[in-house]
Amino acid sequence: MLMEVKKELKFILLSIKYNLAREMTNKVTFLTNIIFMILNNAAFLIEWIIFFSIKDNIGGYGLKDVVLLWGLASGTYAICFLFFGAVQELPNLIMNGKIDSFLVQPKNVLISILTSKTKVSAIGDLIYSYILLFIYGFSIKNFLFFTLFIVTGGIIVTSIATIFGSLAFYITKADTLTGNVMGTMLNFDTYPEGIFKGAIRILFYTIIPISFAVYMPLNILKEFEIIKFIAVIIFTLFITLIAFLSFYKGLKKYSSGNLMSARV
Amino acid sequence: MNNVIEVKKLSKSFKVKVKEKGFIGSLKSIVKPKYKTIKAVNNISFNVEKGEIIAFIGPNGAGKSTTIKMLTGILYNDAGSISVMGIDPTKKRKKLAYEIGTVFGQKEQLWTHLTPYDNFKFFGAIYDIPEYVVEKKIKEFIEIFELSEFINTPVRNLSLGQRIRCEIVASLIHEPKILFLDEPTIGLDPVVKENIRTLIKRMNKEYKTTIFLTSHDVGDIEKLCKRVIIINKGEVVLDDSMENLKYHYLNKKIIEVKMKEKVNLDDSKGITILKDKGYNLKLEVDTKKTSISEALKKLDSDKIIDINISNVPLESIITNIYKGEK
Amino acid sequence: MRKYLNIFKATLINELQYVSDIVLGFLSFLIKIFIFLQLWNYLYDDPSSLIAGLSKDQMIWYVIITEMIWYGTRNKTLVSQITDDIKSGGIAYTLNKPYSYIIYIITKHFGEISIKFILYLILAIVTGFIFIGPIDFNIISLPFIIIVFLLSFIINAVIRIIISMLSFYIEDSTPFHWLYDKVIIVLGIIFPIEVFPKVLQPILKFTPIYVVTYGPAKLVIDFSINSFITILIVQIIYLIVIILLLALIYRKGVRKLNVNGG
Q: Rounded to whole angstroms, what are the CA distances from A74 to A41, A239, C124, C154?
A: 8, 20, 30, 33
Lowest mean pLDDT among A2-6, A34-38, B104-108, C19-23: B104-108
pLDDT at A212: 95
Chains B and C form CB pairs within 8 A to the count of: 8
pLDDT at B128: 87
Between CA B252 and CA B259 the distance in angstroms is 22
The dihedral formed by the CA atoms of A127, A132, A135 and A140, expressed in degrees to the nearest 10: -70
Write the secondary structure of B66-100 as one string of H (helix), E (strand) and C (coil). HHHHHHCCCCCCCEEEEEECCECCCCCHHHHHCCE
Within 13 Å of residue B137, how many CA atoms lie on the same side as its CB? 22
Between CA C126 and CA A95 the distance in angstroms is 34
Distance (Å) from the alpha carbon of A36 to chain C's nearest alpha carbon = 6
Q: Tell me if residue A117 falls in helix, strand or coil.
A: coil
Residues of chain B with Cβ-Cβ distance to C17 below 8 Å are 26, 30
pLDDT at C238: 95
Q: Which residue has the higher pLDDT, A252 or A257?
A: A252
Q: Does C115 touch chain A (CB under 8 A)?
A: no
Q: Rounded to whole angstroms, what are the CA distances from C82 to C54, C93, C102, C106, C259?
A: 40, 13, 9, 11, 19
Residue B162: inside a domain, yes or no?
no
pLDDT at A261: 44
- B246, B275, B302 - which closes a domain: B246
- The number of folded domains in chain B is 2
Residues B240 and B199 in one domain: yes
- Average pLDDT value for chain C: 89
Between CA B260 and CA B135 the distance in angstroms is 68
Helix axes C142-165, C56-73, angle to 10 degrees: 50
Residues of chain B with Cβ-Cβ distance to A105 below 8 Å are 97, 126
Between CA A51 and CA C188 the distance in angstroms is 15
Give Cβ neighbours of residue C117 (< 8 Å, ≥ 6 apart).
C72, C73
- If you ran DSSP here, which 8-state letter would residue B313 be given? P
Q: Does A62 touch chain C (CB under 8 A)?
A: no
Residue B268: inside a domain, yes or no?
yes
Q: Does C48 touch chain B (CB under 8 A)?
A: no
pLDDT at B20: 66
- Average pLDDT value for chain A: 89
Q: Rounded to whole angstroms, what are the CA distances from B120 to B114, B173, B195?
A: 10, 7, 20
Residues of chain B with Cβ-Cβ distance to A264 below 8 Å are 61, 65
pLDDT at A251: 92
* Cβ atoms < 10 Å from Cβ of A37: 24
Residue-by-residue DSSP string for B161-201: HHHHHHHHHHTTTT--SEEEEESTTTT--HHHHHHHHHHHH
Nearest to A93 by CA among A2, A162, A12: A162
Residue-by-residue DSSP string for chain C: -HHHHHHHHHHHHHHHTTHHHHHHHHHHHHHHHHHHHHHHHHH-SSTT--BTTB-HHHHHHHHHHHHHHHHHH--HIIIIIHHHHHHTSHHHHHTTSSS-HHHHHHHHHHHHHHHHHHHHHHHHHHHHHHHT------GGGHHHHHHHHHHHHHHHHHHHHHHHHGGGTSS--HHHHHHHHHIIIIIIISS-GGGS-TTTHHHHTTSHHIIIIIHHHHHHHS--HHHHHHHHHHHHHHHHHHHHHHHHHHHHHHHHHHHHH-
Contact yes or no for A240/A213 (Cβ under 8 A): no
Residues of chain A with Cβ-Cβ distance to B128 below 8 Å are 7, 106
Give Cβ neighbours of residue C143 (< 8 Å, ≥ 6 apart).
none
Q: Which residue has the higher pLDDT, C151 or B264?
A: C151
Residue B194: inside a domain, yes or no?
yes
Q: Do C24 and A196 touch (CB under 8 A)?
A: no
Percent of chain C with pLDDT over 70: 98
Between CA B42 and CA B33 the distance in angstroms is 25
Percent of chain B with pLDDT over 90: 17
pLDDT digits (tens, 9 = 90+) for B130-167: 889 999 999 988 988 888 889 999 888 888 888 888 88
pLDDT at C262: 40
Residue B275's CATH number: 3.30.70
Residues of chain C with Cβ-Cβ distance to A55 below 8 Å are 42-43
pLDDT at A89: 92
Q: What is the domain partition of chain A in residue ranges?
A: 2-45+59-255
Alpha helices for chain A (secondary structure H): 2-23, 27-54, 63-83, 90-95, 100-103, 109-114, 121-136, 140-165, 174-188, 200-205, 210, 216-222, 226-256
Residue A221 pLDDT > 90, yes or no? yes
Which secondary-structure segment (H or E) carries B245? helix B242-249
pLDDT at B107: 66
Give the strand order in the sheet containing B280-286.
B271-276, B280-286, B252-259, B304-311
Q: Does A259 touch chain B (CB under 8 A)?
A: yes
Residue B140: inside a domain, yes or no?
no
Q: Do B27 and C20 touch (CB under 8 A)?
A: no
Contact yes or no for C21/A173 (Cβ under 8 A): yes
pLDDT at B321: 78
Residues of chain A with Cβ-Cβ distance to C197 below 8 Å are 53
Residues B232 and B282 in one domain: no
Q: Does A92 touch chain C (CB under 8 A)?
A: no
Q: Which pLDDT band holds residue A218 (cuts at 50, 70, 90)?
A: very high
Q: Do B30 and C19 touch (CB under 8 A)?
A: yes
Q: Does B31 touch chain C (CB under 8 A)?
A: no
Between CA C49 and CA A42 the distance in angstroms is 31
Q: Does B87 touch chain A (CB under 8 A)?
A: no
Give Cβ neighbours of residue A201 (< 8 Å, ≥ 6 apart).
A211
Between CA B218 and CA B316 the distance in angstroms is 10
Residue B249 pLDDT > 80, yes or no? no
Q: Rounded to whole angstroms, what are the CA distances from B221 to B58, B102, B130, B211?
A: 12, 18, 36, 12
Residues of chain A with Cβ-Cβ distance to B104 below 8 Å are 100-101
Which secondary-structure segment (H or E) carries B29? helix B22-31
Q: Does B27 touch chain C (CB under 8 A)?
A: yes
Residues B237 and B93 in one domain: yes
Between CA C251 and CA C253 the distance in angstroms is 5
Q: Does A137 touch chain C (CB under 8 A)?
A: no
- B246, B268, B292 - which closes a domain: B246
The mean per-residue pLDDT over the stretch B93-113 comes to 82
Lowest mean pLDDT among A145-159, B90-104, C111-125: B90-104
Residue of C nearest to A172 (CA): C21
Interface test with A, best of C22, C23, C28, C76 (most A CBs within 10 A): C28
Q: Which pLDDT band holds residue A128 (cuts at 50, 70, 90)?
A: very high
Residue of C nearest to A51 (CA): C43
Interface test with C, best of A26, A46, A189 (most C CBs within 10 A): A46
What is the amino acid identity at position A201? R
Nearest to A86 by CA among A73, A70, A102: A102
Q: Which pLDDT band holds residue B275 (cuts at 50, 70, 90)?
A: confident
pLDDT at B284: 83
- Considering only residues 94 to 133 of chain A, which have any Cβ-Cβ distance to chain C shorter than 8 Å? none
Residue B45: inside a domain, yes or no?
yes
Which secondary-structure segment (H or E) carries B276? strand B271-276
Residue B134: inside a domain, yes or no?
no
What is the amino acid identity at position C236? I
The parent domain of residue B84 ranges over 3-109+171-246
Give Cβ neighbours of residue A119 (< 8 Å, ≥ 6 apart).
A81, A82, A85
Q: What is the ipTM of this complex?
A: 0.82
Distance (Å) from the alpha carbon of A28 to chain B's nearest alpha carbon = 16
Touching subunits for chain C (3+ Cβ pairs under 8 A): A, B
Distance (Å) from the alpha carbon of A38 to chain B's nearest alpha carbon = 26
Interface test with A, best of B26, B68, B96, B126 (most A CBs within 10 A): B126
Burial class of B41 by CB neighbour count within 10 A (0 to 12, 13 to 18, 19+): buried
Percent of chain C with pLDDT over 90: 50
Residue of C nearest to B26 (CA): C17
Residues B69 and B101 in one domain: yes
* Cα C8–Cα C10–Cα C13 angle in degrees, nearest 5: 105
Between CA A264 and CA B15 the distance in angstroms is 12
Residues B188 and B316 in one domain: no
pLDDT digits (tens, 9 = 90+) for C128-152: 999 888 888 888 899 999 999 999 9
Q: Which pLDDT band holds residue A263 (cuts at 50, 70, 90)?
A: very low
Q: Which of C21, C172, C185 sits opposite A173 (nearest CB)?
A: C21
- Rounded to 5 degrees, what are φ and ψ at B3? -85, 135
Between CA A174 and CA A179 the distance in angstroms is 8
* Cα C153–Cα C158–Cα C163 angle in degrees, nearest 5: 125
pLDDT digits (tens, 9 = 90+) for B126-140: 888 888 999 999 998
Q: Does A177 touch chain C (CB under 8 A)?
A: yes
Q: Which pLDDT band holds residue B3 (cuts at 50, 70, 90)?
A: confident
Highest mean pLDDT among B21-25, B69-73, C94-98, C152-156: C152-156
Between CA B185 and CA B122 the distance in angstroms is 24
Q: Does C10 touch chain B (CB under 8 A)?
A: no
Between CA B77 and CA B12 the distance in angstroms is 5
Distance (Å) from the alpha carbon of B24 to chain C's nearest alpha carbon = 11
Q: Do B30 and C20 touch (CB under 8 A)?
A: yes
Residue B144: inside a domain, yes or no?
no
Q: Do B30 and C13 touch (CB under 8 A)?
A: no
Q: Does A100 touch chain B (CB under 8 A)?
A: yes
Nearest to C216 by CA among C156, C150, C171, C166: C150
Nearest to A109 by CA among A263, A252, A259: A252
- Rounded to 5 degrees, what are φ and ψ at B111? -85, 125
Distance (Å) from the alpha carbon of A41 to chain C's nearest alpha carbon = 9
Lowest mean pLDDT among A62-66, B186-190, C53-57: B186-190
CA dihedral sign of residues B214, B216, B217, B221: positive
- Rounded to 5 degrees, what are φ and ψ at A93? -60, -40
- B193, B221, B246 - which closes a domain: B246
Interface test with B, best of C14, C15, C16 (most B CBs within 10 A): C16
- If you ran DSSP here, which 8-state letter would residue B229 be given? E
- Considering only residues 181 to 210 of chain A, which have any Cβ-Cβ distance to chain B shorter than 8 Å? none
pLDDT at B22: 64
Q: Which residue has the higher pLDDT, B251 or C144?
A: C144
Contact yes or no for C41/A191 (Cβ under 8 A): no
Q: Which pLDDT band holds residue A264 (cuts at 50, 70, 90)?
A: very low
Q: Does A53 touch chain B (CB under 8 A)?
A: no
Residue B7: inside a domain, yes or no?
yes
Q: Does C47 touch chain A (CB under 8 A)?
A: no
The mean per-residue pLDDT over the stretch A202-210 comes to 90
Q: Tell me if residue B258 falls in helix, strand or coil.
A: strand
Quote the distance between the C-alpha of residue C149 and its chain's center: 9
* Cβ atoms < 10 Å from Cβ of B24: 9
Residues B64 and B8 in one domain: yes
- Considering only residues 141 to 160 of chain B, which have any Cβ-Cβ distance to chain C shorter than 8 Å? none
Q: Rounded to whole angstroms, what are the CA distances from A44 to A190, B179, C82, C190?
A: 10, 54, 28, 11
Contact yes or no for B276/B260 (Cβ under 8 A): no
Q: Which residue has the higher pLDDT, B33 or A18?
A: A18
Q: Tell me if residue B257 falls in helix, strand or coil.
A: strand
Touching subunits for chain B (3+ Cβ pairs under 8 A): A, C
- Rounded to 5 degrees, what are φ and ψ at B101? -125, 150
Between CA B191 and CA A36 the distance in angstroms is 48
pLDDT at A68: 95
Residues of chain C with Cβ-Cβ distance to B23 below 8 Å are 13, 16
Residues of chain B with Cβ-Cβ distance to A21 below 8 Å are 113-114
- Average pLDDT value for chain B: 84
Q: Do C176 and A36 touch (CB under 8 A)?
A: yes
Q: Tell me if residue B310 falls in helix, strand or coil.
A: strand
